[in-house]
């Protein structure tokens, strides 16, 4: 039998997925009940849901969510999970308020505890981090959301595998999860910064110390943000010597 493996592409192979995905779980819509809303920044809030049938997820995975109007019209979107996996039967999402956002607009203006929506997931094993390999996380804006799930997982399980987060925000007031970050995190401010902190985008100087002496086994790099940020950050990683097949990218869109 002829198999696809006989074809040797002229470049390195794509990054393999980290985990098997349960197709049956991913295919089932479930009711999620909003239990709490927490303001994170002027533009972003965290929404906590009770999902009794939630099958569990790994940090970095996302779900699909849908809202249904009275006439049957539906709008659905993909969102990264912000919460670490736990046994609480709850999950959290952190959503930016998008101008004219059909779905985010409902969350930021209408939603209140007790409201029911529908979710399916978790989806995709590509951006998942099981907590095994050293993780170098680069995020911008709400791109920090799936990375925060990894930071929280690392902390909740007391993992000793190295983990570093570089997170870019326009200014301190735009930095999501600011109060939760610890020594693992370096914020990068692109427009305004507290006194004594430089202003500017992520540079090779941020990455050089981490990639000059990588941990045993090397870093698994996770990049999440706008396409512009993802292009910029992934180029910096490659230039600093990070292998392309150890870079996972999730872009908004």
Please pick, from the candidates 148, 163, 188, 237, the single residue that binds another protein as defined by CB under 8 A: 237
- Smallest Cα–Cα separation from 250: which of 209, 228, 222, 219? 222
Is the Cβ of residue 132 or residue 180 nearer to another protein in the bound state?
A: 132
Q: Which of residues 13-32 bind another protein (CB under 8 A)?
A: 13-15, 17, 21, 23-24, 26-27, 31
Please pick, from the candidates 55, 205, 238, 241, the single residue that binds another protein as defined by CB under 8 A: 238
Q: Does the protein bind another protein through residue 36 (CB under 8 A)?
A: no
Please pick, from the candidates 38, 157, 191, 235, the single residue that binds another protein as defined by CB under 8 A: 235
CA distance 239 to 221: 13
Q: Does the protein bind another protein through residue 179 (CB under 8 A)?
A: no
Is the Cβ of residue 5 or residue 182 nearer to another protein in the bound state?
A: 5
Is the Cβ of residue 78 or residue 170 nearer to another protein in the bound state?
A: 78
Is the Cβ of residue 73 or residue 195 nearer to another protein in the bound state?
A: 73
Q: Which of residues 58-97 bind another protein (CB under 8 A)?
A: 64, 67-78
Q: Does the protein bind another protein through residue 137 (CB under 8 A)?
A: no
Rounded to 10 degrees, the C-alpha dihedral 206/138/89/183 comes to 0
Q: Does the protein bind another protein through residue 99 (CB under 8 A)?
A: no
Binding residues vs another protein (CB under 8 A): 1-4, 6-7, 9-15, 17, 21, 23-24, 26-27, 31, 64, 67-78, 102, 106, 110-111, 115-118, 123-127, 227, 230-231, 234-235, 237-238, 244-245, 247-253
């Amino acid at each position: 039998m002829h198999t696809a493996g006989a074809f040797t592409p002229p470049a390195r192979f794509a990054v393999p997925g980290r985990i098997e995905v349960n197709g049956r779980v991913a295919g089932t819509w479930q009711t999620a009940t909003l239990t709490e809303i927490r303001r994170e920044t002027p533009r972003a809030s965290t929404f906590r849901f009770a999902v009794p049938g939630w099958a569990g997820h790994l940090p970095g995975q996302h779900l699909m969510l849908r809202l249904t109007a009275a006439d049957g019209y539906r709008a659905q979107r993909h969102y990264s999970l912000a919460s670490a996996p736990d046994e609480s039967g709850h999950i959290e999402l952190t959503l930016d308020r998008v101008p004219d956002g059909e779905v985010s607009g409902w969350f930021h203006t209408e939603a209140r505890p007790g409201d029911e929506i529908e979710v399916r997931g978790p989806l995709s094993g590509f951006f998942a981090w099981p907590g095994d390999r050293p993780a170098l996380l680069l995020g911008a804006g709400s791109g920090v959301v799936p990375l925060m799930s990894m930071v929280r997982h690392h902390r909740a399980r007391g993992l000793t595998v190295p983990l570093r987060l570089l997170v870019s925000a326009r200014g301190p007031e735009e930095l999501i999860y600011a109060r939760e970050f610890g020594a693992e995190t370096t914020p990068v401010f692109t427009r305004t910064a507290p006194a004594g902190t430089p202003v500017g985008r992520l540079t090779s100087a941020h990455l050089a110390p981490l990639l000059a002496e990588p941990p045993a086994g090397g870093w698994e790099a996770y990049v999440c943000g706008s396409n512009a940020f993802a292009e910029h950050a992934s180029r910096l990683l490659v230039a600093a010597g990070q292998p392309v097949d150890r870079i996972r990218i999730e872009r908004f869109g």
